[in-house]
Amino acid sequence: MKSQATPKHLSTNQIHLLLHHLAEQPATRPQSHRNYCIAVLFLDAGLRLNELRRLICSDIMFFDVPVCQLQVRAEIAKRGYARTVPLTDRARNAIRDYAASQPLLFEHADQYAFCSPSSYIRPLSARAVQQIIHKAAKRSIGIDIHPHVLRHTYATRLMRVTDLRTVQELLGHRNVASTQIYTHPSIADKIGAVDKLT
């Protein structure tokens, strides 16, 4: 039986470089805060591409305050499997800055949070989101990546700090077998394990 390939993920340094690049974009560009927020939600909430695209403003902001826990609604989740994802301070700050940069958009709770530049009633296209991540990664860390790599990175980081069942819930996997692909140990994990024996 052919073994499954280990998911590609970013290192801590690569994450820093990617986010630093996005954060350093001129704040006068309307999409700067949006692009940074998109990357952070992939990295710190493990959203799938289509889940992110279909978020509405009330999913991430409640009475002008970023939510503490993101409710991935059944209607946007893969296979209708809803889940709750606690948000990091970094994610909440990214949402706050993005909402502040788009006050007209966030006046309407039921609008797409990441909408098409040409229309509030359409979500940003999958291709547009892919291009945001692709260009930022190419310029900051010199590699081609798909947004799903950022979800893999979230899962890999979680596996180093918590148990498999918790990671399964946070990723929205119905079957734990889907989550087990993230259990690959790093060299540091192996060294740490051996060090604990002495």
Catalytic annotation present for 127: no
The Cα–Cα gap between 158 and 112 comes to: 28
> DSSP readout, 124-187?
PPHHHHHHHHHHHHHHHTS----HHHHHHHHHHHHHTTS-HHHHHHHHT-SSHHHHGGG-PPPH
Catalytic annotation present for 48: yes
Among 8, 78, 174, 184, the one annotated catalytic: 78
Catalytic annotation present for 160: no
Among 98, 112, 154, 182, the one annotated catalytic: 182
Residue 10 CB contacts under 8 Å (≥ 6 apart), including other chains: 18, 141, 145, 149, 150, 153
Structure-token pair, residue 45: 């909430």
Among 73, 96, 135, 148, the one annotated catalytic: 148
Catalytic annotation present for 78: yes
- CA 188, distance to chain mean position in Å, is 24
Catalytic annotation present for 120: no
Among 21, 151, 152, 157, the one annotated catalytic: 151
Among 21, 33, 34, 48, the one annotated catalytic: 48
Opening angle at CA 180, ends 179 and 184, nearest 5:
120
At residue 124, what is the residue type?
A: L
The Cα–Cα gap between 47 and 152 comes to: 10
Catalytic site residues? 48, 78, 148, 151, 173, 182
